[in-house]
Structure 1
Amino acid sequence: MIEFADTVDIRDIFPHQDKYPTVQRTFTALSIGDKMELINDHDFRPLFEYKFPYDFPGQYEWEYLEEGPEVWRVAVTRIK
């Protein structure tokens, strides 16, 4: 079983523009080696292909834990 330092269910965050800042804050608070769990109702791929590489280059690894169709879960590890 994976131990998470924090879990963010972004389905519950409103308004929409608060979702990514919440993910950023949570990731920034992680120590190296810590993992966070992200939960959403659609794929996280755009986040990890466009936003995270710009904001956190080389600082993370991510892996799918669940790939829809209704729930998407991802583990994000801070590596730097």
Structure 2
Amino acid sequence: MDQYAAMINATEYPPKFKHKVIFDTFSALPPSKAMLLVNDHDPLPLRYQFEAMHPNEFTWEYIEEGPDVFQVKIGKI
């Protein structure tokens, strides 16, 4: 966990709060730090939302790609 400033298990949040929690956590990250997102499906639509809201401000790296668990390292540039 030391390589991540925060970890979010999206399965623990109701759908209407997931993206808010994720974006609030990202906003609170210091530059050059990363968070780990854990989800039960590919969060590709979330990546598109990041691209629209935070262009050139983040990195996206799959750590685990399903089929039951997806882990994504989201870094702040």
For residue 55 of structure 1, the aligned residue among 53, 66, 70 is: 53
Partner Cα distance (2:51, 2:65) in 1: 21
TM-score by length of 1: 0.91
Partner Cα distance (1:42, 1:8) in 2: 14
Unaligned runs of 5+ in 2: none
Unaligned runs of 5+ in 1: none
Q: 1:21 deviation in Å? A: 0.3
> Equivalent residue for 1:66?
64
Partner Cα distance (2:56, 2:2) in 1: 22
> Equivalent residue for 2:7?
7
Percent of pairs with identical residues: 36
> Equivalent residue for 1:46?
45
Q: 1:46 deviation in Å? A: 1.6
Aligned length: 77
Q: SS of the residue aligned with 1:76? A: strand
C-alpha RMSD of matched pairs (Å): 1.3
TM-score by length of 2: 0.94
Q: SS of the residue aligned with 2:23? A: helix
